[in-house]
Every structure is written in structure tokens, then in C-alpha cells.
A and B are shown apart, each in its own frame.
Chain A
Amino acid sequence: KRVRDTRTKLAPAYHLILEGILILWIIRLLFSKTYKLQERSDLTLKEKEELIEEWQPEPLVPPVPKDHPALNYNIVSGPPTHIITVNGKECINFASFNFLGLLNNEKVKSAAQASLKKYGVGTCGPRGFYGTFDVHLELEERLAKFMRTEEAIIYSYGFATIASAIPAYSKRGDIVFVDEAACFAIQKGLQASRSNIKLFKHNDMADLERLLKEQETEDQKNPRKARVTRRFIVVEGLYMNTGDICPLPELIKLKYKYKVRIFLEESLSFGVLGEHGRGITEHFGINIDDIDLISANMENSLASIGGFCCGRSFIIDHQRLSGQGYCFSASLPPLLAAAAIEALNIMEDSPDIFQTLRAKCERIHKALQGISGLKVVGESFSPALHLQLEESCGSRENDVKLLKRVVDYCMNSGIALTQARYLEKEEKCLPPPRTRTGQICVELDCCFLIPLSHIIRISVLHCIVTSRFFH
């Protein structure tokens, strides 16, 4: 007999059984239901309905106490110029940012009237969709020429200017070094950008350099990432919260040493600092191309509404497609743009107003020194000063109440001051309570009596305030 052919040799029984079981198992797995982890809730429909019934949301807004200091606004009847009627009482206006006194200027008003007759009020569209008027183009050209940069871009709201400019360049993963005393608009811009924020102590260049050095050592650990991480420094020319200026020359040195770009916010210093009002770059004599982006609002010195950014075309042109407040919002009403152009004309034609403004600021600054219990916060040439309590009364609430009494007393004596308003829960570094005062404006068409009477009133105020509130 032949030897049985090995090919037809049968596998052992246990092999077959094992494979059979495996096949059955695979078939079972294929046909069984798949479980999604999210829906692995053990709740029945009835339980879900009960949960929905039981859930109680918080009220949409918590109630606000009737005597909250920020709830009851002062009502200004009539134009908010040098003499202002607040709550029915006539006062000298030390609370509006009308630095160059252009709010009531007849030339500005007539330029705005002419524009109103030609274009109506609104623009009915964003810049991309038939909302670009020749007035906007003219204003952008004039601003660029005035600031001696290549290009400028206009926004229809001052707050939105820097808050849209920062997120257009700085994205997730980029690094921004910002001063602690930066204003709220900058904080919102930084929040919208989702970048890494590094705060340095106010005007402290040593602290900033320390942070930059730390970043440098980080970079050396990961050079690939460092090559694509953009870095920015955001500072203000004249800080709203402290009234002092940033040390721009040192910042420029740091910029080139550590390869960081500078964004400068000049809302308070535009039209105030510098021989011709060009801001802090003129004040320090710095080449404007060294600053990557200058942003300012037109609501202070130019006495209009809106804001602008200026710089090289390489930088500014990007905002025309990525600046949210530019692309997705209606453009500036032409009458306000025409008012800004006329204000710019006045600034260019009479550069001596800046000297006058500075002189008045220094006088008021000097006159306000020495009120016991209150200290003056701000540079001597800053048109926006703060009066802060030297010693706190214990809690912020009590400080605020005391300052309110001071402000009310001044208003009754014919001087309009205001408490500096902050959103306590929202600010990153909340400034202490203070009144904002000494917002000096230059009055060109009024005679000298008014500035002098400012000083007299201040001296009277000085005596009375000292005796009444601070023993």
C-alpha cells in the first residue's frame, strides 16, 4: 500500500474546534452593536425629562443696586465744550478729552455741515461693499502724510481700532509682551488674539529685558518653533491709566536686540506730544519707520469719532482683509471724516497750539500739587491727570465713595470732574480709585480770562478741599 499522501492529512480535532469558535466570535463581533462613548448614558428617557424639568438657570443678569455709582449717568444738556451744563448746572469742563478745544470749532463744524449736505449721515455698508467714500480715502492719505508713514487705515470706532489691529497680526502661539498699565481696548485685543501674553511691570525696562531673555533661552531649546513664533511688544505713548509716557528709545534698542516688533498705541499722545503733534515718536525724535504700527483714536485731539492705524504698507494693508472691525462693520460716517480732516488742517496750520497746551498742562499740574490727602498721578505735560488718594480708607468701596463726594463738591462749585471708570472684574491689573481731572483743553477763540479763572478756581478748590475732606 502507498503511504498516505501528507497533503490529505487531516488537522487534529482541537484545531478545528478552536478555529470554529474563533470564526463564530468574529461573526458575533461584526454583527454586534457599536457603542459610542458619548452616548453611553445610562439615563432613560424619563430620567432625562426629569433632569430637564429640574434644571434652573441663573437669572440672565444679577440685579444692580439702585445706588451703584456707575448706574446713574450725568446728563449733559447742550454741547460738551469748555463750559458744560451737567445735571442742570454750568461748570468748567475738566472731564472731556477735548485737548485741542476743537469740539466747538466753527471751521470743523462747517466742514462737517458741507459733508452732511453732500453725503447724508450714514454710509450704509462696510468698506468692501460700496461703503468707501472719497472722504475716507482723503482722510487716510492726510493721516499718512501727517504722520509721515506710507499708509493709514481708518476704523469707525476708537475702541475697535487697537482691538482689531492686534488680532490681525498676532495669532495663537505668538508671544506678546505688554505693559501692565495697558488700557482696556488693548486687553480685549490681546484676548481676541489668543496669543501668549507676558506682562511686564509698568515702564520697567529691566523687567521687560528679563522676560525677553527668558524667551530667548526658551527659543534655544526649540529653534524650529522659535522660527515661526512672532513676537510683539505693545505699549502706549501716553498711558491713560497712569498719565506717563513710555521710554521709547530704550524700547527701540530692545526691539533690534531681541527681534521683537513694536505696536504703539497713541490715543492720548497723538495731537499732544511732539513739536507738531505727531506723537511720541516726534517727542523723542525717533524715525517713524522703527515703529511697526501706530494706532490712535480720533476721539481725543481730533474731536471726532473713530480711529486709525498708520505704518508701512507692508503692515497696514494686511488689516484691509483681516481687521475684523474694518471688514465686518459699516464705515465711518462721512461727516465725521470731514470733521477729522478739518481738525487735521487746523493742527497743521497752527502748530503753536501744542506749546500752549503744554504750558497750560504744566501750570495746572503745579497748581494741583500740595493738596493734602490727594496726590497727582501723571507727567507734568500730560493733559490727562489723575488725583489719587494718598492713603486708602480701608476698602475700594469706601475710597470710591469718598472720591464721589469730592467730585460732587467740585461740580457744585462749578468744576466738572469725573471719577475714572473701570470695570472692576474685567481689568487685568485694576488701577486704584481716582478722579480723572485736569483734562486741560486749549481754548483758542476765548480770551485769556478763562484760563486764568481756571487757576483761580483751582486754588480755591485747593483750600476748600484740603480743609473739608482731609484733616
Chain B
Amino acid sequence: MTDLKYRLAPASEMSRYCFPNNAVSGDASRCVCLIDSSTVEEINHIVHNGGLYKRPFNEAFEETPMLVAVLTYVGYGVLTLFGYLRDFMRQWKIEKCQNATEREEQKDFVPLYQDFENFYNRNLYMRIRDSWNRPICSVPGAKVDMMERVSHDYNWTFTYTGRVIKDIINMGSYNYLGFAQKTGACQEAAAKVLSQYGAGVCSTRQEMGNLDKHEELEKLVARFLGVESAMAYGMGFATNSMNIPALVGKGCLILSDELNHASLVLGARLSGATIRIFKHNNMQSLEKLLKDAIVHGQPRTRRPWKKILILVEGIYSMEGSIVRLPEVIALKKKYKSYLYLDEAHSIGALGPSGRGVVEYFGLNPEDVDVMMGTFTKSFGAAGGYIGGKKELIDYLRTYSHSAAYATSMSPPVVEQIITSVKCIMGEDGTNIGRARVQQLAENTRYFRRRLKEMGFIIYGNEDSPVVPLMLYMPAKIGAFGREMLKRNIGVVVVGFPATPIIESRARFCLSAAHTKEMLDTAHERTWKSWNRYSLHPK
């Protein structure tokens, strides 16, 4: 166990350590740090906005140990050197070149890819390519069947042996509430709608693609979120990239979190507004940017900004952190800006009745101007939605790119969402939804606690069902993923460029469908895989 030093962290480092709490006792100045479950130390901080939180907010991002950082850089250095060596050998035909190449007739065209762009791809990614794109052949529930594939040429090509690896514990799919099922009320309803309506729609919402099912879905989603009105789209990614440009344009300012998802970044870029980045979940950084923006106005012309939009996510899927929503809303109100909250991972997963991060903090949904989310994760379907005031949704119905040019959602998918939302709300007459939300919360707490007890470095908030386990070194990425698969557990491993170069990690996504036995098995096998290569950092 590393000896984590407790110290009085200065205010600028607050986001790296622990969090303000206990407004219940009216004490806005205490901060509880739960790093080791057996010892709880309290550190006194003068915390600016501690009084806004109605519940403990425990988030930790342990610093990378110095030795590990150095070794990681050394590891990447060695890989890069070998990469250059292999490229050299390939160029001089000492080694066979396995890449696909340009057509003979087009050899004198400008090359489509620069050599160095693909350096990482050829030399680093290719070595551990079998950790990703693993093909499965069953429903992505708590256990999944995977098609076995082997490579005889170091991952350049794969062949399928025809064998199916059965009953792998699935800790990689985003199935938070366990609605990915092939039997049950949702599946039956979807089957009925499929036979009645067909699979496709073949038209856009504004033309002839607006089915009565879509209207029903939108009213239901609005009721679920507690907002006036909502609109649904066929793809979560496209919901962001097509609607942010409709809301802001030139002359507006977007303040976006450092670690926002690619769809938010793309939407912000396509809008043409000025983008400024604030440090991840760091409220001082955000406040400074807001102050400077309003005081100084647009760069060069000094004209005032037309509007300011803050883009944040509910749960950040690579860090496992939860946005500091009470503080963001307080800042937003003070500086008269607008808030766009992307609840892709947090809808259904947080909150006592699964209504997302707004309910988790006990806040009013009307304080969030644009509530966006996706149906892929907790509802076992596909697509995205935006909820908010009626004027906002009317505007989006008229001017959203998706409504005018993109095909509307498929009817059986819509029915799956309707049934699962009703189940979560308890309107189908059963208690299943509520039970699942509670099960997920319990699974999260249990899993995180046990992993911490074992001594692993886990990032993120205590309540987030996304659990990143730090690996750091490049070789461990491939090794850990393969060992876990050998032991029949499927995890997701991520490295550069999705994460900073020295912070590679494995990610566990918990589900309400996981039983306690499955979690215990996962713990035990994680420990074994870790020990197999003596990867123990402590």
C-alpha cells in the first residue's frame, strides 16, 4: 500500500483531491477524503462553495508515483526506437511490409497518409490491436459470448477459429441498468412494434418521418426528466454535433471542459463560436474564464459576447468523475450564462430513481438550460435526446440539422426506449426499475471498495459506475487485457491518445445485471492477472 501523504492541499489543487460536504451540518469548511476505507482523515479547507452540496462528494485522482512515470516514459521510448527500427527494415525490404498499399495506377498521386501520422498505428497500436474490436455473438448483458480469433502474423490479420468463448463476464459494455436483454417486456414490445411498423422509416422528421411513436417517446422523456419538452434523435453523437451549431454561432463563447467527449468538441467546432477550455472539473478555472470573458469581451473587437454556453458532461467516461453540478449552476446563474449538460453516462445510472446527475445532487432540472443524453447506455437502445424549455425544443424542431436532413429513429428502437423508461419510472406496474437502480448503486460501492482494499489505484467518484483502474505502462495495456480474457472477463483497456500518455488504464463498467458472485469473481481474477506479471505497484 503506498503511503499516501495527507496534506493541506492549496485551493488550486482542490480538484485533484477531495470534496466539500456536510452542508447538512451547516459546516461549509470541512472536506472528507476517503482514500483508504480503513482510515478516514479529515482535512480542513476553506472551501468556497461547500455549502451547495447536500451529500458527500468523494472523488480522488491519485498522483502518478514518480518511479512509475519514469518507467512509463522509458517504455514508450523503447517502443518508439523499435518502431523506427522496424520502419527502417520495412523500407529497405528486410522485413515484409504487411500494410495495404496504394494502387499501382495511383502511385504518383499525393500520398493519402503521411508516414509519421501512422507511426503510432503501425508500431504501437498494431502490437496490441487484439484488445479492441472483439467480436461478440450474443446479447451484451452481464455475460457475453465472444467469437474466438487468432492472429498468425502479430495482429496484422485475424482469422476466426469458429469456436465461441462462452459466458465471459462482461465488464466492458455500457449496460448500466441491465436493459440489454433478449427476453422480457421491452423485447416483446419492440417485437410487436417491429412487426407492425417495420424496421426503417425512410424519411426525415420534418418531411414524412414523424411517427406517432416519436411523439409518444418525446412526451415520455420530458416527463421522465422533469422538463417541459424533449426531442429525440437517431444517434447520440449526432445529437451533439448537429444541435450545438444550431444553438450558438459566431460571436458566442463556448466554455468546454478539458476532457469532453469528441461529439461535444466536434459540435463546438462546427458551430463557429470561440472555444475556451477550462481544467477538468475545476471551478476556479471556469470562474476565471467567465470573468475574463465578460469583462474583456470578444478578442480584438472588444464587443460583448452574444451568449456564453458551458459544456459539461454528467459522468466523464474515461475518468469516472462526476461534474460538480451545484457549483456549475451557481456560477452559471451568477454570470448569466447557459449550461449544456451531456448526460450520456449518468442518465439512468445516478440518482435514487435513475433520473441522472441533476437528481443525484438534488437540484432543479429547470436550472439546466439544455439537458442532453443518450439512450444507448442505460436504456439498451440507440439514439439521443435533448430536453429543456418549450421554446428551446420548438426552436430545435425547426432549426436542428438532424430534423431537416437526417432520418428519424427506427420504430422498434423507439419502443424499447419507451418500455424501459416506463419500467424505470415504475409505470409498468412493477418494481423492477427501482430495484435495478438500487442494485447498480450497491454494485458500484461494493466493487470500488473492494478494489481499493486490494490496493489498486482507482480514479473517479465513489458513486460512478465507471471504474478506471490505472495501468500506466504501455506493456501492461495489452498484457492485462489478454490475461483477463483468458480468465473469462472482458474489460476495456485504453491508452494514448484517448488518455494522457502516462495514464493508461483499464476500465470496468458496472451493471445492475452483475450479481455479487460475478463481482467477486472479477475481483479475484483481476488480482490474479495483476500478479501474473508482477504488475503490483505497491
Contacts and interface: CB of A to CB of B under 8 A. Distances in A.
A71 B337 CA distance: 27
A335 B391 CA distance: 35
Given A80-B203, A112-B194, A130-B136, A70 B404 contact: yes
A318 interface: yes
Interface residues of B, number: 121
B208 A84 contact: yes
A229 B266 contact: no
A132 B72 CA distance: 31
B212 A133 contact: no
Contacts of A423: 399, 401, 404-405
Nearest to A116: B191
B295 A41 contact: yes
B407 interface: yes
A129 interface: yes
Interface string A221-254: 0000011111100000000000000000000000
A329 B206 CA distance: 24
Given A70-B404, A261-B109, A335-B412, A52 B335 contact: yes
A453 to B, nearest CB: 20
B315 interface: no
B237 A324 contact: yes
A159 B200 contact: no
B266 A228 contact: no
Interface string B130-161: 00111111111100100100000000000000
Contact of B382 (A58, A60, A123, A339): A123
Interface centre among A86, A132, A231 (most CB of B within 10 A): A132
A318 B211 CA distance: 37
Interface in A59-100: 59-64, 68, 70-71, 73-81, 84, 86, 93, 95-98
Contacts of A112: 194, 199, 412
A95 B405 CA distance: 14
B202 A97 contact: yes
B336 interface: yes
B398 A305 contact: no
Contacts of A325: 235, 237-238
Contact of B209 (A52, A80, A127, A169): A80
B270 interface: yes
B100 A130 contact: no
Given A118-B138, A228-B114, A335-B412, A64 B198 contact: no
A330 B380 CA distance: 11
A327 B110 CA distance: 26
A113 B138 CA distance: 15
A104 B198 contact: yes
Contact of A71 (B374, B392, B398): B398
A131 interface: yes
A35 interface: no
B103 interface: yes
A157 B238 contact: yes
Contacts of A134: 135-137, 147
B208 A418 contact: yes
B412 A125 contact: no
A252 to B, nearest CB: 11
B279 interface: no
Interface in B172-190: 172-175, 179-182, 186-187, 190
B416 interface: yes
B286 interface: no
28 contacts: A57-B336, A64-B394, A71-B398, A80-B197, A96-B201, A116-B187, A116-B412, A119-B139, A120-B181, A121-B190, A121-B412, A125-B174, A130-B140, A130-B144, A130-B490, A131-B140, A133-B137, A134-B135, A134-B147, A137-B135, A157-B235, A299-B200, A304-B410, A305-B200, A328-B261, A328-B263, A329-B236, A421-B204
